[in-house]
Amino acid sequence: MTKVSIIVAMGQNREIGKNNDLMWHLPVDMRFFKDTTLGHPVIMGRKNYESIPEQYRPFKNRLNIVVSNQSEYVAPGCHLFQNLNDAIAFAKVQDQQEVFVIGGGQIYAEALKMNLVDTMYITHIAASFPDAHTFFPEVDLSQWNGKLIMQHEADEKHSFAFEVFEYTRSLSSGS
């Protein structure tokens, strides 16, 4: 069975973006994102796709899938779908191991609301970003089993300390 995973970095108040951009630069976390998603389908919303610098899109060595309700939208090198269910179904056919939902806020909320997510890789940044515009949805983490994957202190290349957790759905959560 193909696992559907979310991968996200967020501030202490669930902040994930401002003006269609990240509010931090964390090279080790970016490498974690790349290494974790490499070789797997990545599903993103249109705004999230547009926020990726042109030189990096589509992401190399990953099947890129964009969800947009704009039927005429063009995303070179990507597969386009008008809803998340169709995007995930297509991705599962391409990769029987793991499919990643990589944002943004609307797509994360939809995937969680529709109970499609098996695993969440969450980078918890030890800072808050009061001017954020986009947030990760509220999730009751007591319904998930968390395992620390990595810790990184602030240093000359990382303005903020962070921890990466892998959350798997608890068997007692009723799914």
How do the residues of the chain divide into helix, strand and coil, expressed in percent and rounded to 5? Answer: 25, 35, 40
User: CA distances (Å), 169 to each of 39, 81, 175, in order?
Assistant: 24, 27, 8
CA angle 72, 88, 44 (to 5 degrees): 55
- pLDDT tier at 167, thresholds 50, 70, 90: very high
Question: Rounded to two decimals, what is the model's pTM?
Answer: 0.94
Average pLDDT value for residue range 82-110: 96
Work out the burial of residue 17: count CB atoms within 10 Å of its CB; fewer than 13 is exposed, 13-18 middle, 19 or more buried. buried
Confidence at residue 152, expressed as pLDDT on a 0 to 100 scale: 98
Confidence at residue 175, expressed as pLDDT on a 0 to 100 scale: 45
Which CATH number goes with the domain that contains 47? 3.40.430.10
Cα–Cα dist 110/44, whole Å: 12
* Model confidence at 174: pLDDT above 60: no
Domain boundaries, position 17: 3-173
Q: What percent of the chain has pLDDT over 70?
A: 97
Average pLDDT value for residue range 110-117: 96
Cα–Cα dist 29/158, whole Å: 10
Confidence at residue 172, expressed as pLDDT on a 0 to 100 scale: 56
Number of domains in the chain: 1
Cα–Cα dist 63/90, whole Å: 10
In tens, the pLDDT along 15-67 reads 999 988 889 999 999 999 999 999 999 999 999 999 999 999 999 999 999 99
Work out the burial of residue 110: count CB atoms within 10 Å of its CB; fewer than 13 is exposed, 13-18 middle, 19 or more buried. middle
Please give the order of strands across the beta sheet that includes 64-67. Answer: 79-81, 64-67, 42-45, 98-103, 3-10, 119-125, 162-169, 144-152
Average pLDDT value for residue range 149-174: 90
Closest Cα to residue 169, out of 95, 119, 101, 107? 119
Confidence at residue 20, expressed as pLDDT on a 0 to 100 scale: 85
